[in-house]
Amino acid sequence: MAPTLRKAAGGPAVGKPAKSGAKASQSTEAFQMADGNKKRPFSPEPSRSSVQIIKRAAAQAKAAGPPSPPPEVPSEPGIYKKINKGALKTRLIKEFHVEANIVDVILCSILETPPGVKFEDVVGQDPAVKLLRERVVYPALNPNLFNGQKFLRPPRGVLLFGPTGNGKTLLAKACAAQTNYNFMNLTASVLVSKWVGDSEKLIKIMFACANCIQPCIIFIDEIDAVLSTRTSSERDDSRRFKNEFLTHFDGLLCNHDDRVMVLGATNLPQAIDTAALRRFDLRIFLGPPDIFAREILLRRMLKEIRHAMTPQEINWIAERSEQYSASDLGVVTRNAAWLPLGTIDPTRIPHLQESEIPLIRSSDFRRVMDSFVPSGYQDDLRIIEQWTNRNRRCHGRNSDGLDVV
């Protein structure tokens, strides 16, 4: 028989010794020597003790029955999910064929933990809180009830507008915390790129990422810089960017099963494009705090510091701060808290205890307010009111005094 035929039949080729069997025998002996340093004869059949162990384990498994599945955790509506950003990044790159740095920009905007803000932390905006609780929070708690009825579906776009420093960003975070939605915090500087075509990719990945981690709130602060009014002299890349945003925004309005909401905040609603404005189903005006809200804010901030102020003095400060926004009151309180330190001898500072710092008094607030210039929201408020009256589609003042467009 030819060597090749003999090799194919299983025997060794002519003129070549069969080394494979010898090598296998040497390997087996080496393994046996390593195991207890005893050379035992190799047996291809399992030992009697091993067979008994296997039979005993099989009998126990048969008596126990099939393994019970792990208990199912009931899924809560709007539960805040722990996001695996690595797997999400790989999925987005594979599906949309974009660069990794584009995906990284969007993933960095996702908050790792829910915002630690509640509606109770937003002072002076009770009508807005009530409206958001009814239109956004309730549908998140029972989505099947509200999605099944056409005119009770939650809004896909919510616009918070009003003078600066009155809690628009804080209210947006509180809305995400109350609904347990994932929260994406974005600005115009994140979405607008100097490279041609990258802005459209960022918009596409932003909406795709929100769909993957839904329920999700896409919060865009100063949204007027992203969706400003389109003009005939506008650059082509800026126009394409806005068209891409509006196209994906329309996708949210058409798909009622998706639980993604765009939440925008601006103090220049008159600068937003009309086509973009139409897509915001709910528009809420957040005005400056009144005297009662200012007094509540002052009392809440004074709880954090040591002071010797009477309720009458706190009320006097609230009356005098008529043109102050909520953030202005915070700045005044912070500056007043520093004034007592100026009366202490500098040599005592290294060993000074907190109880030795003089208490804050109304005179400290008076000194700060005499030289403090408010943020000047009166001009912005006048322009916003004029815009509201010109563009009202279903405008009215409800029983709480809230302007809803």
So what's the pLDDT on residue 91? 87
Flag whether 279 is in a domain: yes
Whether 338 has a pLDDT exceeding 70, the answer reads: yes
Rg (CA), the chain: 35
Is 182 in the same domain as 329? no
Whether 208 has a pLDDT exceeding 50, the answer reads: yes
Split into its structural domains, the chain has a count of 2
Is 267 within 8 Å of 161 (Cβ atoms)? yes
Pairing mode of beta strands 403-404, 396-397: antiparallel
Is 117 in the same domain as 216? yes
Is 137 in the same domain as 184? yes
CA–CA distance, 353 with 381 (Å, rounded to integer): 45
Flag whether 281 is in a domain: yes
Flag whether 65 is in a domain: no
Flag whether 303 is in a domain: yes
More confident: 127 or 256: 127
What letter represents residue 288's amino acid? P
Is 314 in the same domain as 276? no
Is 103 in the same domain as 248? yes
CB-count burial class (<10 Å; 0-12, 13-18, 19+) for 321: buried
Nearest to 14 by CA among 24, 23, 4, 22: 4
pLDDT (tens digit per residue) in 18-38: 444 444 445 445 444 444 444
CA–CA distance, 218 with 241 (Å, rounded to integer): 17
User: What CATH number does residue 220 fall under?
Assistant: 3.40.50.300
More confident: 381 or 79: 381
Nearest to 182 by CA among 227, 153, 142, 140: 140
So what's the pLDDT on residue 308? 87
Is 238 within 8 Å of 268 (Cβ atoms)? no
**pTM recorded for the entire structure:** 0.72
So what's the pLDDT on residue 335? 92
Is 127 in the same domain as 211? yes
Q: What is the overall mean pLDDT for the chain?
A: 77
Give the number of C-alpha atoms closer than 13 A to the C-alpha of residue 117, restricted to the C-beta side. Answer: 18
User: What CATH number does residue 317 fall under?
Assistant: 1.10.8.60
Is 147 in the same domain as 278? yes
Flag whether 43 is in a domain: no
Residue with tokens 């009458």: 312
3-state secondary structure of 126: helix
Is 283 in the same domain as 345? no
| Domain extent at residue 341 | 291-374
Is 277 in the same domain as 306? no
Is 359 in the same domain as 307? yes
Flag whether 181 is in a domain: yes
At 160, which helix (H) or strand (E)? strand 157-161
Flag whether 170 is in a domain: yes
Is 192 in the same domain as 301? no
Flag whether 60 is in a domain: no
Is 258 in the same domain as 167? yes
